[in-house]
Amino acid sequence: MKNNIYQLVYNTVKKIPSGKVTTYGLIAEKLRSVNKNINAHVVGWILHKNKSTDVPCHRVVDRNGRLAPNFAFNGAKEQKIRLEIEGVKFIDEMHVDLKRHLWT
């Protein structure tokens, strides 16, 4: 069962188009019909454990558009660089412009 929920999270994140972001909570909401115990924290924990470059974890932010301070490699700086390359705009150093870039 554990691997199934991991795959569900990873497969959902793979659907986020370049130039868009979604939130941990929205992913959890999408997957609750499959597993009622999933929440934003579980999604974050699963993504933190991801080792695959095929899963664009950099496209997932918190409910306020805030970058993940514990993102792989160079933390939020690396996440921001990857998003900027995709054309994502920010309202400040740590927050994505969700009005322009939120994928639901």
Distance between CA atoms of 34 and 101, rounded to whole angstroms?
A: 26
Hey, which residues are catalytic here? 57
Nearest to 22 by CA among 7, 32, 12: 12
